[in-house]
Structure 1
Amino acid sequence: MNPAFLRPARKLASLLALALTLAACGGGGGGSENDAGPQQPAAPVSKTEAARFLSQSTYGANEASINHLASVGYARWLDEQFSKPLSPFKAHIDRTIADYAAAGTGSVNTNDVWEAYWKQAIAGEDQLRARVAFALSQILVISAAGDSLGGRPRTVAGYYDVLQTHSFGNFRQLLNDVTLHPGMALYLTYMANRKESATRVPDENYAREIMQLFTIGLHQLNPDGTLKRDGSGNPIPTYTNEDVTGLAKVFTGWSWGGPDNSNSRFGGGTPDPNRDILPLQAYPNYASVSEKKFLGVTIAARSTATVADMQADLKLALDTLFNHPNVGPFVGRQLIQRLVTSNPSPAYVQRVAAAFANNGSGVRGDMKAVIRAVLLDNEARDANLASSTQFGKLREPVIRLAHWARAFNATSKSGTFMIQNLNNPISQLAQTPLFSPSVFNFFRPGYVPGGTAIGNAGLVAPELQITNEASVVGYLNFMNDAIRNGTGSGRDVLPNYAAEIALADDAAKLQARVDLLLTHGQLSAATRDEIINAIAAISIPKPAADGSTTNVDNARKNRVYTAIFLTMASPEYLVQK
Structure 2
Amino acid sequence: MFRPLQLLALAVALPLLLASCASHMSWPSEPRAIPRPARLASTEPAPTPAEASRFLQQATFGPSMGEIEALTRSNFSSWVDQQMATKQTLTAPLIEPYYKALKKGENLKQDQYFSAFWKTSATAPDQLRQRVAFALSEIFVISMDGMLDVKMRAIANYHDMLARNAFGDFRTLIEEVSRHPAMGVYLSHLRNLKEDPVKGRVPDENYAREVMQLFTIGLQELNPDGTLKLRNGEPIETYTNEDITGLAKVFTGFSYGSFERADQDFHNAGRNPDWEIRPMVGYNQFHSGSEKRFLGVTIPASQFPSADDDLKIAMDRLFNHPNVGPFFGRQLIQRLVTSNPSPAYVRRVTEAFNNNGAGVRGDMQAVIRAVLLDPEARSAASLKDAGFGKVREPILRLSQWMRAFNATSIAGNFDMYNTDNPGNALGQSPMRSPTVFNFYRPGYVPPGSMVAKRNMVAPEMQIVSESSVAGYANFIQSVIDGGVGRAANNKRDIQPDYSAQMALADSTDRLVAHIDLLLTASQLSPESRRRISEAVNEIRIPANNPTQAENARRNRVKLATLLTMVSPEYLVQK
Closer/same/farther in 2, CA of residues 104 and 197 from structure 1, 3 Å limit = closer
Match of 1:334 in 2: 331
Counterparts of 1:75 and 1:223 in 2: how far apart (Å)? 25
Q: Match of 2:162? A: 163
Structure 1 segment 458-473 matched on structure 2, within 5 A: 458-473=455-470
Deviation (angstroms), 1:42: 1.6
Question: Do 1:59 and 1:127's aligned partners in 2 also have CA atoms closer than 8 Å?
Answer: yes
Looking at structure 2, the residues matched to 271 and 218 of structure 1 have their Cα atoms a distance apart, in angstroms, of 39
CA–CA separation in structure 2 for the residues paired with 1:40 and 1:134: 28
Cα pair distance change 1:60/1:270, threshold 3 Å: closer
3-state SS in 1 of match to 2:298: strand
**What SS class does the counterpart of residue 460 from structure 2 fall into?**
helix
Cα displacement (A) at 1:517: 0.4
- Counterpart mapping for 1:114-513 below 5 A: 114-146=114-146, 148-198=147-197, 199-231=200-232, 233-268=233-268, 270-305=270-305, 309-490=306-487, 491-513=492-514
- Compute the TM-score of the two structures, normalised by the length of structure 1: 0.92
C-alpha contact 1:172 1:318 (8 A) present in aligned 2: yes
Please say if residues 256 and 269 of structure 2, whose CA atoms lie closer than 8 Å, have aligned partners that are also in contact: no
Q: Calculate the aligned-residue CA RMSD, in Å.
A: 1.7
Match of 2:568 in 1: 571
Gaps of 5+ in 2: 22-40
Distance 2:162 2:419 in 1: 22
Q: Deviations over 1:120-139 (max 9, x none)?
A: 11111010001000000000
1:562 corresponds in structure 2 to 559
Change (3 A) 1:248 1:230: same
What is residue 94 of structure 1 aligned with on the other side? 96
Partner of 2:112: helix, strand, or coil? helix
Structure-2 separation of matches of 1:496 and 1:286: 57
Give, in whole Å, the separation in 2 of the partners of 1:506 and 1:500: 10
Query: What's the offset of the Cα at 1:109?
Result: 2.0
Q: Distance in 1 between matches of 2:483 and 2:68?
A: 24
1:84 aligned to which of 81, 86, 90? 86
Residue segments in structure 1 that go unaligned for 5+ positions in a row: 21-38
**Which residue of 2 is the match for residue 71 of structure 1?**
73
Name 2:26's counterpart in structure 1: none
Deviation of the 1:338 alpha carbon: 0.4
Match of 1:27 in 2: none
> What is residue 45 of structure 2 aligned with on the other side?
43
Name the aligned partner's letter for residue 145 of structure 1.
D
1:45 CA displacement: 3.3
- How many angstroms apart in 1 are the aligned matches of 2:5 and 2:314? 63
Deviation at 1:66, TM superposition (A): 0.4
* 1:54 alignment partner in structure 2: 56
Query: In the alignment, residue 52 of structure 1 is paired with which amino acid?
Result: R
2:14 is matched with which residue?
13
Instruction: Please say if residues 355 and 370 of structure 1, whose CA atoms lie closer than 8 Å, have aligned partners that are also in contact.
Output: yes
Question: Post-superposition shift, 1:535?
Answer: 0.7
Deviation of residue 569 (structure 1)? 0.7
SS at match of 1:214: coil
Amino acid at match of 1:152: K
8 Å contact 2:269–2:275 — kept in the other structure? no
- 1:26 alignment counterpart: none
Structure 1 counterpart SS, 2:234 = coil
Contact 2:337–2:377 (Cα < 8 Å) also in 1: yes
Shift of 1:466: 0.3
Q: Which amino acid aligns with 1:391?
A: F
- 1:464 deviates by 0.3
**Are 2:16 and 2:566, in contact at CA under 8 Å, matched by a contact in 1?**
no
Any conservation in 2 of the 1:507–1:535 contact (CA below 8 Å)? Answer: yes
Q: CA deviation at 1:105?
A: 12
Equivalent position of 1:29 in the other structure = none
- Which residue pairs with 1:28 in the alignment? none
Kept in 2: contact 1:43–1:70 (CA 8 A): no
- What letter is aligned with 1:239? Y
Contact 2:292 2:299 in 1 (8 A): yes
User: What is the distance in 1 between the residues matched to 2:239 and 2:203?
Assistant: 18
Q: TM-score, normalised by structure 2?
A: 0.93
What one-letter code is carried by the residue in structure 1 that aligns with 2:373?
Answer: L
For the residues of structure 1 that align with 2:493 and 2:16, how far apart are their CA atoms? Answer: 32
**Residue pair 1:256, 1:266 contacting (<8 A) in 2 also:** yes
Deviation by residue 1:519-567 (Cα, 9 ceiling, x = unmatched): 11010011001111111111112334xxxx3222211111111100000
Give the secondary-structure state (helix, strand or coil) at the position aligned to 1:149. Answer: coil
Amino acid aligned to 1:172: R
In the alignment, the residues of structure 2 paired with residue 212 and residue 41 of structure 1 have an alpha-carbon distance, to the nearest angstrom, of: 41
Shift of 1:249: 0.1
The separation in 2 between residues aligned to 1:66 and 1:245, in whole angstroms, is 51
Residue of structure 1 equivalent to 2:25? none
For 1:44 and 1:417, the matched residues in 2 are separated by: 34
After superposition, the C-alpha distances for 1:227-268 in whole angstroms (9 at most, x for unaligned) are: 11111x211100000000000000001111123111111112
What are the Cα deviations for residues 271-290 of structure 1, in whole angstroms up to 9, with x where unaligned? 21211111111111111111
Give the structure 1 partner of residue 550 of structure 2. 553
Q: Which residue of 2 aligns with 1:25?
A: none
- After TM superposition, give the deviation of residue 91 of structure 1 in Å: 1.2
Tell me, yes or no, if the aligned pair for 1:342 and 1:461 is still in contact at 8 Å: yes
Letter in 1 for 2:327: F
Aligned equivalent of 1:113: 113
* Greater relative contact order structure (CA < 8 Å, 6+ sep): 1
What code does the residue aligned with 1:352 have?
Answer: V
